Amino acid sequence: MTDPLKTTHEVITSFWRRHVWARPLMVLAFLAVVGWLLRMKVESSLQANLTSVLQTTLQAEKEAVRNWVRIQQNIAASAMADEQIKATIDSLLAGAKPDATRVELLSLPQAADLRRVLNPLVATHKYNGFVVLEKSGRIVASNYDQLVGVQLTEAEMGFIREHVLVEDPMMLPPIKSKAVMPDRDGVERAGVPVMYSTAAIRSESQEVIATLGLRIQPEVEFTRILEIARIGGTGETFAFDRRGVMLTNSRFDKQLRRIGLLKDDEDSTLNISLRDPGVNMTEDLRPKLPRSEQPLTHMAAEASEKRDGVSIEGHRDYRGVPVVAAWEWLDDEGFGIATKVDVKEANQTLTIISRAFGGLYALLAIASLAMLVSMVRANRLAAQAQLDALELKRLGQYTLEEKLGEGGMGVVYRAKHAMLLRPTAVKFLDSSKANEKSIARFEREVQLTGQLNHPNTIAIYDYGRTPEGVFYYAMEYLDGLDLQTLVARHGPQPEGRAIHILKQVCGSLAEAHSIGLIHRDVKPANILLNARGGMFDVVKLLDFGLVKLVDSASESQVTKAGGVVGTPMYMSPEAYQSPKTVDARTDLYAVGAVGYFLLTGEPPFVGETMLDVLKHQIQSIPEPPSKRLGQPVSQEFEQLLLRCLAKAPADRPATAYDIITELDRIPTANSWTEADARYWWRRYVPNLPSTTPPGAVISAQPSSTIILDPANAASILPPR
């Protein structure tokens, strides 16, 4: 009977002997886990400390505000307890007729007496003035003449009856003044923020008939109290009402003016709403929604519902800057207070520790991966030696002659058939990158392309595996130049030649579409122009390796579901937005883009990054070729190209055959003759190259073709 322990030991021993490279990786993984656990413990401790600091700061500010409010309430109550002040106000109320005008109220001797008796109190406690408000909502006295005789609206009176005309002294949160008065800089204007400490005025029967309000400038003490406790260089503490309007000044007023949240003559008190713009506006990003439609910040939304809390996970503040914060709603005072600090500053210590750990990880990785790198290099050398060995012998019916080039997954050799002596290109799968997925993709490329026999489609002759297990296939040898090279060397092409080329491309696509195949990567680099059999400007469409078999059950096994396949400058909008739904019309979009490129020397859309190009493909309307080129183009040809480039597939020509038919009807369709083509080739390509450009025979060029997940597109698209 087989000993299971012995068998297991032999398997493990065999694994370590065959996979020496796994040892440093195991050490690296162990150290990474230990480091991660240690970092998590340090992070937890720092977060607990940050929570404590926020809560302590908030509680200290809350007590300071409440003490100040109580002092102001006591001063107002003491004023009404003063017999002289009380008698003067009673006399004023008795002499103020209900229909008296402002002039009549100001002319009352009691009005001057009240200013005289209240001035010492106002000066001593640095008040900004006073008002006497009747129960009816009329202001009968004030040190500002503009306020005298003002009648409050019914909406304002609702608030007054609830918060002012009450038995106990009250402190009203900041409101905007109705009168023109000096702001904190001495500039007289309306809407200056003011607060009132109020005390009830009672009749002989102790009924509240009016109120005395002592006016306070919020920035003199209220804001200053909340400015005392700030955390670091970005911390601030402020008050706000239930609507999320800031009741004190922000420390970032200059910044708020720069990003457009404040006007030049405003400060933040009563002018800033605690709303989340959705972006960091300090980085010059613009929110999508207007300020009035933006949601309250997390802190303001919670506090307005009377839910106190602390958030160290980070949320955006009214500038869109990520912050950590603590907040509390003061029900008796009728407003909330919060303290916050930018996440970046709050996490400075953790960032330093993370960088230190990162540095250690980097050193460990360098040391641990040194052996792995050497193993990889050894494997590559072995793979190269394997391919070199192939050059020294025949491969079935083919004799290998020289390497032509290599791409992301394969290497190509020029070969010759032993009996037919026909030049052939043989493509091998790079054995160092061989796995079941890549082999499946190569076999799929061969099988799909092998179904096509149109004269403008590259022909596949054979495929198989070498005795060493290397997958290969043999294909038609081509010795022309691709359209990308053609335009790069010779500029925009004549209209007739462009039509001649597009007809051949559409012929190849028409056959593929008729059997349910979609190319998905039609582009200038995949269209080769040749001189063959005495004919010139013969097109060969290459790289059916990215082809999609419509309704194929095996498709998902070799192509990631939902992945984007193609080249951005020639990719249809639907290929990026909903790659699972593309059909043959995505190839027709690319045909239009190739024709545009041939005519103008440029693709329809360009950008600094490929992501910019993709955005243009989805959103922008292409400029007419004649305008881009700066010279006339046949209206029929221009309109056909623009229809091919329509955003909606339904607005494009229905099939490749339809495009061929329309191309034949263009007046310049036959302006490029065989004689023209022969002259061009003999002038510019007198001796055809003896080797094939890598792009002509290797599919899926990594420098231009992308296969990506839409959610990660922005992070991996290379620069233009």
The full length of the chain comes to: 720
Contact (CB, 8 A) for 407 and 694: yes
**Cα(304)–Cα(306) distance, rounded to whole angstroms?**
5
Residue 110 has pLDDT above 70, yes or no: yes
- Tell me the whole-structure pTM to 2 decimals: 0.48
**Cα(451)–Cα(459) distance, rounded to whole angstroms?**
9
638-662: average pLDDT = 96
Give residue-wise pLDDT tens across range 568-616. 899 999 988 888 888 999 999 999 999 999 999 999 998 888 888 888 9
Position 587: which residue type? D
Residue 261 has pLDDT above 90, yes or no: yes
| pLDDT value of residue 713 | 38
| pLDDT value of residue 410 | 72
Residue 717 has pLDDT above 50, yes or no: no
- DSSP class per residue in 438-501: HHHHHHHHHHHHHT---TTBPPEEEEEE-TT--EEEEEE---SEEHHHHHHHH-SPPHHHHHHH
Longest dimension (CA), the chain: 127
**Cα(173)–Cα(73) distance, rounded to whole angstroms?**
13
Pairing mode, strands 208-216 and 193-202: antiparallel
**Cα(65)–Cα(221) distance, rounded to whole angstroms?**
10
Q: Quick one: CATH architecture of 230-346? A: 2-Layer Sandwich (3.30)
| pLDDT value of residue 602 | 94
- What count of other Cβ atoms lies within 10 Å of the Cβ of residue 316? 20
Contact (CB, 8 A) for 98 and 209: no
Pairing mode, strands 548-549 and 517-518: antiparallel
Residue 658 has pLDDT above 70, yes or no: yes
Contact (CB, 8 A) for 471 and 390: no
| pLDDT value of residue 333 | 85
**Cα(152)–Cα(164) distance, rounded to whole angstroms?**
13
Pairing mode, strands 527-532 and 481-482: antiparallel
Exposure string for 178-198, b = 16+ CB within 10 A, e = fewer = bbebebeeeeeeebbbbbbbb
For residue 75 the two structure tokens come to 């001063």
Can you tell me whether residue 693 is helix, strand or coil? coil
Residue corresponding to tokens 């012929």: 507
Contact (CB, 8 A) for 548 and 520: yes
| pLDDT value of residue 515 | 87
More confident residue, 546 or 379: 379
Boundaries of every domain in the chain: 82-216, 230-346, 477-716
646-668: average pLDDT = 95
**Cα(139)–Cα(136) distance, rounded to whole angstroms?**
9
Asked, colleague to colleague, whether 82-216 and 230-346 share their fold, the answer is: yes
394-415: average pLDDT = 75
Residues in Cβ contact with 56 at an 8 Å cutoff, skipping those fewer than 6 apart: none
612-630: average pLDDT = 92
Beta strands in 137-226 (DSSP E): 139-142, 170-176, 181-182, 188-189, 193-202, 208-216
For residue 632, what pLDDT band results from cuts at 50, 70 and 90? very high
Residues in Cβ contact with 47 at an 8 Å cutoff, skipping those fewer than 6 apart: 312
Residues in Cβ contact with 667 at an 8 Å cutoff, skipping those fewer than 6 apart: 634, 636
Residue 5 has pLDDT above 90, yes or no: no
| pLDDT value of residue 71 | 92
Residues in Cβ contact with 124 at an 8 Å cutoff, skipping those fewer than 6 apart: none
Residue corresponding to tokens 């462009």: 498
Contact (CB, 8 A) for 415 and 400: yes
Give residue-wise pLDDT tens across range 696-708. 333 333 334 443 4
Q: Can you name the CATH fold of 82-216?
A: Beta-Lactamase (3.30.450)
664-671, long-range: CB < 8 A, 24+ apart: 664/503, 665/636, 666/499, 666/634, 666/636, 666/637, 666/640, 667/634, 667/636, 668/495, 668/496, 668/499, 668/634, 668/637, 669/496, 669/499, 670/496, 671/494, 671/495, 671/496
Angstrom CA distances, 452 to 417, 511, 661, stand at: 21, 7, 22
For residue 22, what pLDDT band results from cuts at 50, 70 and 90? low
For residue 90 the two structure tokens come to 């009673």
**Cα(266)–Cα(271) distance, rounded to whole angstroms?**
7
| pLDDT value of residue 567 | 78
Taking the alpha carbons at both ends of the chain, their separation in whole angstroms is 65
What average pLDDT is seen over the chain? 82
Nearest CA among 431, 382, 375, 370 for reference residue 20: 375
61-66: average pLDDT = 92
| pLDDT value of residue 610 | 83
For residue 669, what pLDDT band results from cuts at 50, 70 and 90? very high
**Cα(585)–Cα(433) distance, rounded to whole angstroms?**
34
Residue 502 has pLDDT above 50, yes or no: yes
112-125: average pLDDT = 92
Give residue-wise pLDDT tens across range 269-303. 899 999 999 999 999 999 999 999 999 999 999 99
Which residue of the set 241, 317, 482, 521 is catalytic?
521
666-671: average pLDDT = 94
Residues in Cβ contact with 614 at an 8 Å cutoff, skipping those fewer than 6 apart: 568, 571, 576, 713, 717
| pLDDT value of residue 168 | 75
Give residue-wise pLDDT tens across range 174-217. 888 877 877 777 778 888 898 889 898 988 888 888 999 999 98
| pLDDT value of residue 381 | 61
| pLDDT value of residue 19 | 55
Exposure string for 320-342, b = 16+ CB within 10 A, e = fewer = bbebbbbbbbbeebbbbbbbbbb
For residue 563 the two structure tokens come to 């992945």
394-403: average pLDDT = 75
Express as a percent the part of the chain with pLDDT over 70.
Answer: 81
Angstrom CA distances, 285 to 41, 281, 343, stand at: 36, 5, 18
Report CA 600 to chain centroid distance, whole Å: 33
**Cα(280)–Cα(693) distance, rounded to whole angstroms?**
48
Angstrom CA distances, 530 to 458, 497, 720, stand at: 12, 14, 29
Give residue-wise pLDDT tens across range 513-551. 998 889 888 999 999 999 888 899 999 998 775 455 444
477-716 sits in which CATH class?
mainly alpha
**Cα(287)–Cα(265) distance, rounded to whole angstroms?**
23
Residue 132 has pLDDT above 80, yes or no: yes
Residues in Cβ contact with 207 at an 8 Å cutoff, skipping those fewer than 6 apart: none
Q: Is 651 a catalytic residue?
A: no
Residue 720 has pLDDT above 60, yes or no: no
More confident residue, 518 or 396: 518
Highest mean pLDDT among 16-20, 142-146, 349-353, 475-479: 142-146
